[in-house]
Amino acid sequence: MGKISKLESLSESNLLRLYADLMEELRHRQVIRTSNNPVADYDEKVAGEHLRLKRAGKEERGYDALDAEGHRYQIKGRRVTRHNASRQLSVIRDLDQKLFDYLIAVIFDQKFNIQEIWQIPYEFVRGNSRWSQHLNGHIFYAKPEVLQSNKDVKRIL
């Protein structure tokens, strides 16, 4: 019989409490700003640090950060795992209203290590997204072969 990890020995309710405590501590440390999926907040922190962006207030609509010149950035992340290798970013709302100038795509591996950061102009996102009635927004896939096909898309990391 193999050695049981500490996590394996915990009940489901204890694991969920541990997750809740972990999320609260990450929020206290300002790694995340909400109680949602941590990828959505962590990608904003990571992109802001790499690009020296100023986070927008939570009340701002359509963008998450600004640069020194006033360009607006929508930041989306994806954690790629052995169970799900999709590079579909979270839904983009109101894309037709051009609420951002650039989309920043942050791709993490399973353990939240940063694998890639892309700066993608609005026009490219608009032209390469598809509308989803079910999600009430546009879907964009951060596939390297598509991103590398355009000279205006920049790989930051």
Distance CA 139, CA 156 (A): 22
Each residue of 3-15: pLDDT tens digit?
568 899 999 899 9
Residue 121 lies in a domain: yes
Per-residue pLDDT for 157 more than 70? Answer: yes
Going by pLDDT thresholds of 50, 70 and 90, the confidence category of residue 108 is very high
Q: Which two tokens stand for residue 86?
A: 């999709």
Distance CA 135, CA 88 (A): 13
Instruction: Give the ranges where 9-95 is alpha helix by DSSP (H).
Output: 12-28, 38-51
Each residue of 38-92: pLDDT tens digit?
998 999 999 999 999 999 998 999 999 999 999 999 999 999 999 999 999 999 9
For residues 51 and 125, membership in a common domain is answered with yes
Sign, CA torsion 147/150/152/157: positive
Distance CA 138, CA 56 (A): 22
Per-residue pLDDT for 123 more than 60? Answer: yes
Identify the H or E element spanning 124.
helix 122-127
Per-residue pLDDT for 1 more than 50? Answer: no
Residue 15 lies in a domain: yes
pTM summary value: 0.89
Distance CA 66, CA 114 (A): 21
Of 47, 72, 51, 86, nearest to 125 by C-alpha is 72
- Domain of 25 in residue numbering reads as 7-36
For residues 30 and 49, membership in a common domain is answered with no
Give the count of beta carbons closer than 10 Å to the beta carbon of residue 56. Answer: 19
pLDDT value of position 87? 97
Overall size of the chain counted in residues = 157
Distance CA 15, CA 1 (A): 23
For residues 31 and 108, membership in a common domain is answered with no
Residue 128 lies in a domain: yes
Q: What is the CATH number of the domain that holds 147?
A: 3.40.1350
If you average pLDDT over every residue of the chain, what do you get?
A: 94
